[in-house]
Amino acid sequence: MRKREYLQSVEGVDFKFYQTPKDFIVDEIISTKFKGKGNYLILHIQKYELTTWDMVAIFAEYMGVLAQKIGYAGLKDKHATTTQYISVDATYEKMLKKFYHKQIKILSATRHSHSIRMGDLTGNRFSINLHFVDNIDAGKIEKVARKIAKNGLPNYFGYQRFGRDADSINQAKEMIQGDLFIEDAKVKKFLVSIYQSTYFNDWLRERVNITLDNDETVFKLLEGDVYKSLDAKLSTPKIMPTKEFESKKLVPTGLLCGRDVFRARDEAGKIENRFDDEYLQDKGYRREALIYPKDIVCSYVKKQTLLNISFSLPKGSYATVFLESIAGKNFSAKDVKLKAKK
Protein backbone atom coordinates (compact mmCIF):
# COMPACT_ATOMS: atom_id res chain seq x y z
CA MET A 1 0.00 0.00 0.00
CA ARG A 2 1.38 3.35 -1.05
CA LYS A 3 2.10 6.18 1.35
CA ARG A 4 -0.59 8.76 2.07
CA GLU A 5 0.72 12.23 1.15
CA TYR A 6 -0.45 15.50 2.72
CA LEU A 7 -0.50 19.21 1.90
CA GLN A 8 0.37 20.72 5.31
CA SER A 9 2.48 19.30 8.14
CA VAL A 10 4.70 20.38 11.03
CA GLU A 11 8.39 20.22 10.24
CA GLY A 12 10.55 18.37 12.76
CA VAL A 13 7.83 17.57 15.29
CA ASP A 14 7.42 13.97 16.47
CA PHE A 15 4.59 13.05 18.83
CA LYS A 16 2.99 9.79 19.91
CA PHE A 17 -0.67 8.96 20.30
CA TYR A 18 -2.31 5.73 21.38
CA GLN A 19 -5.77 4.34 20.68
CA THR A 20 -6.62 3.52 24.27
CA PRO A 21 -9.75 4.36 26.32
CA LYS A 22 -7.80 7.06 28.18
CA ASP A 23 -6.11 8.73 25.23
CA PHE A 24 -8.65 8.38 22.40
CA ILE A 25 -12.23 9.55 23.04
CA VAL A 26 -14.95 9.68 20.37
CA ASP A 27 -18.40 11.22 20.78
CA GLU A 28 -21.06 10.68 18.14
CA ILE A 29 -22.76 13.74 16.61
CA ILE A 30 -26.27 12.82 15.57
CA SER A 31 -28.69 14.95 13.54
CA THR A 32 -31.96 13.60 14.96
CA LYS A 33 -33.79 15.56 17.65
CA PHE A 34 -35.51 13.00 19.84
CA LYS A 35 -39.18 13.68 20.59
CA GLY A 36 -39.28 12.26 24.11
CA LYS A 37 -42.20 10.04 23.20
CA GLY A 38 -42.81 7.09 20.88
CA ASN A 39 -42.43 3.33 20.57
CA TYR A 40 -38.63 3.32 20.55
CA LEU A 41 -36.17 3.80 23.37
CA ILE A 42 -33.03 5.78 22.48
CA LEU A 43 -30.02 4.90 24.63
CA HIS A 44 -26.96 7.13 24.83
CA ILE A 45 -24.14 4.63 25.43
CA GLN A 46 -20.54 4.93 26.58
CA LYS A 47 -18.36 1.90 25.88
CA TYR A 48 -14.74 0.84 26.37
CA GLU A 49 -12.64 -1.65 24.38
CA LEU A 50 -15.64 -2.92 22.42
CA THR A 51 -16.61 -2.56 18.78
CA THR A 52 -20.12 -1.34 18.01
CA TRP A 53 -21.01 -4.87 16.89
CA ASP A 54 -19.69 -6.30 20.19
CA MET A 55 -21.79 -3.82 22.13
CA VAL A 56 -24.93 -4.51 20.06
CA ALA A 57 -24.45 -8.27 20.55
CA ILE A 58 -24.26 -7.78 24.34
CA PHE A 59 -27.54 -5.84 24.40
CA ALA A 60 -29.19 -8.33 22.03
CA GLU A 61 -28.26 -11.24 24.30
CA TYR A 62 -29.42 -9.38 27.41
CA MET A 63 -32.83 -8.59 25.91
CA GLY A 64 -33.17 -11.90 24.05
CA VAL A 65 -33.64 -10.31 20.62
CA LEU A 66 -31.88 -10.47 17.25
CA ALA A 67 -29.03 -7.98 16.83
CA GLN A 68 -30.84 -6.65 13.74
CA LYS A 69 -33.55 -5.32 16.03
CA ILE A 70 -31.12 -2.80 17.53
CA GLY A 71 -30.57 0.41 15.56
CA TYR A 72 -27.36 2.45 15.44
CA ALA A 73 -26.11 5.40 13.41
CA GLY A 74 -22.42 4.54 12.98
CA LEU A 75 -19.58 2.18 13.82
CA LYS A 76 -17.06 3.14 16.50
CA ASP A 77 -13.50 2.02 17.20
CA LYS A 78 -12.78 -0.70 19.70
CA HIS A 79 -9.59 0.76 21.16
CA ALA A 80 -11.09 3.95 22.55
CA THR A 81 -13.71 5.39 24.85
CA THR A 82 -16.68 6.05 22.60
CA THR A 83 -20.19 7.35 23.07
CA GLN A 84 -22.95 6.61 20.60
CA TYR A 85 -26.70 6.17 20.31
CA ILE A 86 -28.66 2.96 19.84
CA SER A 87 -32.40 2.30 19.62
CA VAL A 88 -34.47 -0.60 20.93
CA ASP A 89 -38.15 -1.36 21.31
CA ALA A 90 -39.53 0.69 24.20
CA THR A 91 -41.04 -2.43 25.80
CA TYR A 92 -37.54 -3.21 27.13
CA GLU A 93 -37.27 0.07 29.06
CA LYS A 94 -37.91 -1.45 32.49
CA MET A 95 -35.54 -4.36 31.84
CA LEU A 96 -32.73 -2.03 30.74
CA LYS A 97 -32.87 -0.08 34.00
CA LYS A 98 -31.20 -3.16 35.56
CA PHE A 99 -28.62 -3.54 32.78
CA TYR A 100 -24.99 -3.77 33.90
CA HIS A 101 -21.79 -4.43 31.99
CA LYS A 102 -18.31 -3.40 33.09
CA GLN A 103 -17.46 -2.02 29.63
CA ILE A 104 -20.80 -0.38 28.87
CA LYS A 105 -22.58 2.49 30.59
CA ILE A 106 -26.05 3.80 29.72
CA LEU A 107 -25.69 7.60 30.04
CA SER A 108 -29.31 8.46 29.32
CA ALA A 109 -32.54 7.14 27.80
CA THR A 110 -35.36 8.84 25.95
CA ARG A 111 -38.29 7.92 23.70
CA HIS A 112 -38.59 8.50 19.97
CA SER A 113 -41.00 7.75 17.12
CA HIS A 114 -38.64 5.57 15.07
CA SER A 115 -35.40 3.63 15.35
CA ILE A 116 -31.98 5.15 14.73
CA ARG A 117 -30.68 4.80 11.19
CA MET A 118 -27.22 5.01 9.62
CA GLY A 119 -28.12 8.32 7.93
CA ASP A 120 -28.75 9.97 11.32
CA LEU A 121 -25.00 10.31 11.95
CA THR A 122 -23.52 13.65 10.85
CA GLY A 123 -20.04 13.34 12.33
CA ASN A 124 -17.90 12.64 15.37
CA ARG A 125 -16.18 14.72 18.03
CA PHE A 126 -12.68 13.52 18.97
CA SER A 127 -10.52 14.20 22.01
CA ILE A 128 -7.01 12.77 21.60
CA ASN A 129 -3.90 13.01 23.77
CA LEU A 130 -0.62 13.64 21.96
CA HIS A 131 2.38 12.57 24.06
CA PHE A 132 6.00 13.80 24.28
CA VAL A 133 5.16 17.31 23.09
CA ASP A 134 7.06 20.35 24.43
CA ASN A 135 5.43 23.77 24.67
CA ILE A 136 7.05 25.07 21.47
CA ASP A 137 5.91 22.07 19.45
CA ALA A 138 2.44 22.37 20.98
CA GLY A 139 2.15 25.83 19.43
CA LYS A 140 3.36 24.53 16.06
CA ILE A 141 0.86 21.66 16.13
CA GLU A 142 -2.06 23.96 16.89
CA LYS A 143 -1.00 26.38 14.15
CA VAL A 144 -0.80 23.71 11.43
CA ALA A 145 -4.04 22.07 12.64
CA ARG A 146 -5.88 25.34 12.10
CA LYS A 147 -4.24 25.78 8.70
CA ILE A 148 -5.43 22.30 7.68
CA ALA A 149 -8.94 23.19 8.91
CA LYS A 150 -8.90 26.29 6.70
CA ASN A 151 -7.42 24.77 3.52
CA GLY A 152 -8.83 21.25 3.76
CA LEU A 153 -7.64 17.79 4.77
CA PRO A 154 -7.18 15.07 2.12
CA ASN A 155 -9.97 12.64 2.99
CA TYR A 156 -8.00 9.39 2.82
CA PHE A 157 -9.31 6.15 4.23
CA GLY A 158 -7.22 5.49 7.34
CA TYR A 159 -5.26 2.34 8.09
CA GLN A 160 -8.26 1.01 10.06
CA ARG A 161 -10.19 0.59 6.81
CA PHE A 162 -7.87 -2.10 5.51
CA GLY A 163 -7.90 -4.51 8.45
CA ARG A 164 -4.96 -6.08 10.19
CA ASP A 165 -3.95 -8.21 7.23
CA ALA A 166 -1.75 -6.20 4.88
CA ASP A 167 -2.48 -8.79 2.18
CA SER A 168 -6.20 -7.96 2.11
CA ILE A 169 -5.93 -5.93 -1.11
CA ASN A 170 -4.36 -8.92 -2.89
CA GLN A 171 -7.18 -11.14 -1.66
CA ALA A 172 -9.68 -8.54 -2.89
CA LYS A 173 -8.12 -8.45 -6.36
CA GLU A 174 -8.05 -12.25 -6.58
CA MET A 175 -11.71 -12.44 -5.56
CA ILE A 176 -12.83 -9.78 -8.05
CA GLN A 177 -10.82 -11.40 -10.86
CA GLY A 178 -12.46 -14.75 -10.09
CA ASP A 179 -9.33 -16.47 -8.81
CA LEU A 180 -10.52 -16.66 -5.20
CA PHE A 181 -13.96 -17.82 -4.03
CA ILE A 182 -15.35 -16.22 -0.88
CA GLU A 183 -18.61 -17.65 0.48
CA ASP A 184 -19.14 -15.35 3.46
CA ALA A 185 -21.15 -12.31 2.30
CA LYS A 186 -19.66 -10.02 4.97
CA VAL A 187 -16.11 -10.95 3.99
CA LYS A 188 -16.94 -10.36 0.32
CA LYS A 189 -18.35 -6.91 1.12
CA PHE A 190 -15.28 -6.10 3.23
CA LEU A 191 -12.88 -7.08 0.44
CA VAL A 192 -14.80 -5.04 -2.15
CA SER A 193 -14.63 -2.00 0.14
CA ILE A 194 -10.86 -2.49 0.48
CA TYR A 195 -10.55 -2.70 -3.31
CA GLN A 196 -12.52 0.53 -3.81
CA SER A 197 -10.78 2.33 -0.94
CA THR A 198 -7.30 1.43 -2.18
CA TYR A 199 -8.03 2.87 -5.62
CA PHE A 200 -9.49 6.01 -4.01
CA ASN A 201 -6.46 6.51 -1.76
CA ASP A 202 -4.06 6.03 -4.68
CA TRP A 203 -6.04 8.54 -6.75
CA LEU A 204 -6.05 11.08 -3.89
CA ARG A 205 -2.32 10.63 -3.38
CA GLU A 206 -1.81 11.40 -7.09
CA ARG A 207 -3.91 14.55 -6.84
CA VAL A 208 -2.08 15.72 -3.72
CA ASN A 209 1.26 15.19 -5.48
CA ILE A 210 0.02 17.21 -8.47
CA THR A 211 -0.78 20.03 -6.06
CA LEU A 212 2.64 19.81 -4.39
CA ASP A 213 4.42 19.64 -7.76
CA ASN A 214 2.84 23.01 -8.54
CA ASP A 215 4.27 24.40 -5.27
CA GLU A 216 0.76 24.83 -3.87
CA THR A 217 -0.66 23.87 -0.48
CA VAL A 218 -4.34 24.20 -1.39
CA PHE A 219 -5.81 21.27 -3.35
CA LYS A 220 -5.47 21.96 -7.08
CA LEU A 221 -8.71 21.77 -9.04
CA LEU A 222 -8.76 20.33 -12.57
CA GLU A 223 -11.11 20.69 -15.51
CA GLY A 224 -13.74 17.96 -15.36
CA ASP A 225 -13.68 17.44 -11.59
CA VAL A 226 -16.93 16.27 -10.04
CA TYR A 227 -18.05 18.40 -7.11
CA LYS A 228 -20.39 17.90 -4.20
CA SER A 229 -22.40 20.81 -2.86
CA LEU A 230 -23.78 21.35 0.61
CA ASP A 231 -27.10 19.89 -0.56
CA ALA A 232 -25.19 16.68 -1.51
CA LYS A 233 -25.77 17.06 -5.27
CA LEU A 234 -23.00 16.05 -7.67
CA SER A 235 -22.06 18.18 -10.67
CA THR A 236 -19.33 18.91 -13.21
CA PRO A 237 -19.43 22.70 -13.74
CA LYS A 238 -18.63 24.09 -17.18
CA ILE A 239 -16.45 26.76 -15.58
CA MET A 240 -13.90 26.08 -12.82
CA PRO A 241 -15.80 26.90 -9.59
CA THR A 242 -12.86 28.52 -7.79
CA LYS A 243 -14.91 30.97 -5.71
CA GLU A 244 -17.41 28.31 -4.64
CA PHE A 245 -14.52 26.02 -3.64
CA GLU A 246 -12.76 28.74 -1.66
CA SER A 247 -15.99 29.56 0.19
CA LYS A 248 -16.52 25.83 0.90
CA LYS A 249 -19.81 25.72 -1.00
CA LEU A 250 -18.42 23.01 -3.28
CA VAL A 251 -15.86 20.28 -2.61
CA PRO A 252 -14.16 18.07 -5.26
CA THR A 253 -14.85 14.35 -5.05
CA GLY A 254 -13.03 11.15 -5.91
CA LEU A 255 -14.30 7.87 -7.29
CA LEU A 256 -15.09 4.68 -5.41
CA CYS A 257 -15.21 2.55 -8.54
CA GLY A 258 -18.24 0.46 -9.46
CA ARG A 259 -21.51 0.64 -11.38
CA ASP A 260 -24.03 3.48 -11.58
CA VAL A 261 -21.70 6.28 -10.50
CA PHE A 262 -20.94 9.65 -12.08
CA ARG A 263 -17.35 9.87 -13.39
CA ALA A 264 -14.99 12.79 -13.92
CA ARG A 265 -14.26 14.21 -17.37
CA ASP A 266 -11.53 16.04 -19.30
CA GLU A 267 -8.19 16.44 -17.47
CA ALA A 268 -9.58 15.15 -14.17
CA GLY A 269 -11.13 12.18 -15.96
CA LYS A 270 -7.83 11.13 -17.52
CA ILE A 271 -6.27 10.86 -14.06
CA GLU A 272 -9.32 9.24 -12.48
CA ASN A 273 -9.43 6.61 -15.23
CA ARG A 274 -6.11 5.19 -14.01
CA PHE A 275 -7.73 4.39 -10.66
CA ASP A 276 -11.00 2.97 -11.96
CA ASP A 277 -12.49 -0.45 -12.62
CA GLU A 278 -15.57 -0.05 -14.80
CA TYR A 279 -16.20 -3.81 -14.74
CA LEU A 280 -16.72 -3.98 -10.98
CA GLN A 281 -20.36 -5.02 -10.50
CA ASP A 282 -20.76 -3.56 -7.02
CA LYS A 283 -22.31 -0.12 -6.55
CA GLY A 284 -19.92 2.79 -7.03
CA TYR A 285 -19.87 6.04 -5.05
CA ARG A 286 -18.13 9.39 -4.92
CA ARG A 287 -16.32 10.53 -1.80
CA GLU A 288 -15.24 14.03 -0.82
CA ALA A 289 -11.57 14.58 -1.69
CA LEU A 290 -11.30 17.10 1.14
CA ILE A 291 -12.90 17.59 4.53
CA TYR A 292 -12.62 20.48 6.96
CA PRO A 293 -11.96 19.72 10.65
CA LYS A 294 -14.02 22.03 12.87
CA ASP A 295 -14.08 23.42 16.40
CA ILE A 296 -10.40 22.72 17.14
CA VAL A 297 -9.44 23.11 20.80
CA CYS A 298 -5.90 22.49 22.08
CA SER A 299 -4.98 22.16 25.76
CA TYR A 300 -1.34 21.72 26.82
CA VAL A 301 -0.23 20.06 30.09
CA LYS A 302 3.44 20.99 30.53
CA LYS A 303 4.24 18.59 33.39
CA GLN A 304 3.05 15.65 31.33
CA THR A 305 4.40 16.95 27.98
CA LEU A 306 0.89 16.22 26.74
CA LEU A 307 -1.22 18.12 24.23
CA ASN A 308 -4.91 17.30 24.10
CA ILE A 309 -6.46 18.17 20.76
CA SER A 310 -10.22 18.11 20.26
CA PHE A 311 -11.97 18.51 16.91
CA SER A 312 -15.01 17.46 14.90
CA LEU A 313 -15.03 15.57 11.59
CA PRO A 314 -17.85 14.59 9.23
CA LYS A 315 -18.98 10.95 9.18
CA GLY A 316 -16.83 8.50 7.26
CA SER A 317 -13.59 10.38 7.86
CA TYR A 318 -10.67 9.42 10.07
CA ALA A 319 -9.15 11.27 13.03
CA THR A 320 -5.90 9.37 12.46
CA VAL A 321 -5.67 10.91 8.97
CA PHE A 322 -5.86 14.38 10.54
CA LEU A 323 -3.06 13.43 12.94
CA GLU A 324 -1.02 11.99 10.06
CA SER A 325 -1.30 15.27 8.20
CA ILE A 326 -0.15 17.22 11.26
CA ALA A 327 2.80 14.87 11.82
CA GLY A 328 3.69 14.48 8.14
CA LYS A 329 3.96 10.70 8.52
CA ASN A 330 1.81 7.61 8.14
CA PHE A 331 0.69 5.62 11.18
CA SER A 332 -0.31 1.97 11.44
CA ALA A 333 -2.25 -0.15 13.91
CA LYS A 334 1.08 -1.33 15.28
CA ASP A 335 2.20 2.22 16.01
CA VAL A 336 -0.86 3.23 18.02
CA LYS A 337 -2.07 -0.01 19.60
CA LEU A 338 0.71 -2.46 20.39
CA LYS A 339 2.97 0.14 22.00
CA ALA A 340 0.11 1.28 24.21
CA LYS A 341 0.08 -2.11 25.91
CA LYS A 342 3.70 -1.90 27.06
Give the integer Cα–Cα distance in Å for 85 and 73. Answer: 7
User: Rounded to 5 degrees, what angle do the CA atoms 317, 168, 207 make?
Assistant: 45
Q: Which of 284, 335, 337, 325 is nearest to 156 (CA)?
A: 325
Question: What burial class does residue 36 get, using C-beta atoms within 10 Å of its C-beta: 0-12 exposed, 13-18 middle, 19+ buried?
Answer: exposed
Give the integer Cα–Cα distance in Å for 320 and 17. Answer: 9
Bridge partner list, 72: 86
Give the integer Cα–Cα distance in Å for 97 and 139. Answer: 46
Give the integer Cα–Cα distance in Å for 14 and 269. Answer: 37
Is there a contact between 141 and 130 (Cβ–Cβ < 8 Å)?
yes
Q: In 90-222, where do the E strands start and end? A: 104-112, 121-131, 153-154
Q: Which of 337, 332, 336, 338 is nearest to 3 (CA)?
A: 332
Taking each continuous run of H as one helix and of E as one strand, the counts in the chain are 9, 14
Give the integer Cα–Cα distance in Å for 103 and 46. Answer: 8
Residue of 27, 77, 120, 137 marked catalytic: 77
Give the integer Cα–Cα distance in Å for 49 and 67. Answer: 19
> Which secondary structure element, helix H or strand E, spans residue 95, and what is its range?
helix 93-96
Give the integer Cα–Cα distance in Å for 121 and 28. Answer: 7
Q: In 230-339, where do the E strands start and end? A: 234-235, 250-256, 285-288, 290-291, 294-301, 306-314
In the residue annotation, 77 being an active-site residue is answered as yes
Catalytic residues: 77
